[in-house]
Amino acid sequence: MKLIITFLLSALFLFASDSNHLKVKILENILSEISINEPIKIWSDDVKILTEFKHSSKFKTTTKCGDANIIVLQRKKNLTPKCRRKHIFVLSYDLLSDIDNSFGALFWKKGRPNIIILQPRVKAQSIAVSKNLDPYLEEKIW
């Protein structure tokens, strides 16, 4: 799995300009490595990502934030109050600070894709994380 993620990161690195499909594939791989004690159901404020998930992902999706248990968030303003307590995976480094219970992020830094999984939040939300995600685990936001 580690290899797959590395490969996908490399591929995403190469095809960054047209990355939605690969972005979803990476997200799918990340989410496959976590466990929340119930089947994952995804909602995203990015319609393209949600559509991509719907067509290619093994995870269930929903168009209602309230029905989801994992939220892939692009913008903070799209997060409604009733969804704030759900497991949130953000698509920007800054959102990790802005949204207290966001447990991880996939974002671009210097043109390269980066993944961060925040260990304290994962623990707090009782999310089980596979060892394959160890290289991306962070204790805090810098």
Partner 1 sequence: MVNKKEVFLFLLLFSLGIFFIFIYLYIKQAEKDIFTKIEINRIEQISYLFQNIEKDIIDNNKIKNSKQLIKLLYNAKTRKKYEKYLSFIATPSIKYIYLLTKDNKGRFRFLLDASKIDKANFFEKFDVTNQKYKALYITKEAQIIRQEDMENLFLTYIYPIKVDEQIIAVLSVDITTKIKQTLIELTKPLETFFIILVIFVFLFVAMTIIQVFHYFITRKKIFTDPLTQLYNRNYLAEVSPMLKLENYSVAMLDLDKFKVINDTYGHKAGDFILAQSAQILKNSTRGSDILIRYGGEEFLLFIYKRDNDNNSTLKICERIRKNIDTNKFIYDYNEIQVQVSIGIHEHPHLEKNLNEAIKIADKMLYIAKTKGRNRVINYIDSKKDTHVKSNNLDFVKDAIDDNRVVCFYQPIYNYLDKTILKYEALVRIIDKHGEIISPIFLLEDLKHTNIHYKLTQRILFIIFEKFKNIDKHVGINLNFSDLINEDIEKTILDAFKKNPNLASRVTIEILESDEIKNIPLFKEKIELMHSYGAQVSIDDFGSGYSNFKTILDIEANFLKIDGSLIKNIDINEKDFKVVKSIIHFAKVANMKTIAEFVHSQEVYDKLLPLDLDYMQGYYIAEPSPTLLNVKDLF
Residues engaged in binding partner 1 (CB under 8 A): 6, 9-10, 13-17, 93, 108-116, 135-136, 138, 142
Q: Which residue number, 78 or 114, has a Cβ lying nearer to partner 1?
A: 114
Q: Cβ of residue 26: shortest distance to partner 1, in angstroms?
A: 11
Q: Residue 11 is which amino acid?
A: A
Gap between the Cα atoms of 65 and 63, Å rounded: 6
Cβ closer to partner 1: 64 or 112? 112
Q: Which residues lie below 8 Å from residue 4, measured CB to CB, with a gap of 6+?
A: 29
For residue 141, what are the CA distances in angstroms to 7, 21, 41, 106, 116?
26, 27, 27, 14, 9
- Tell the smallest beta-carbon distance from residue 74 to partner 1 (Å): 17
Find the shortest distance in angstroms from Cβ 93 to partner 1: 7
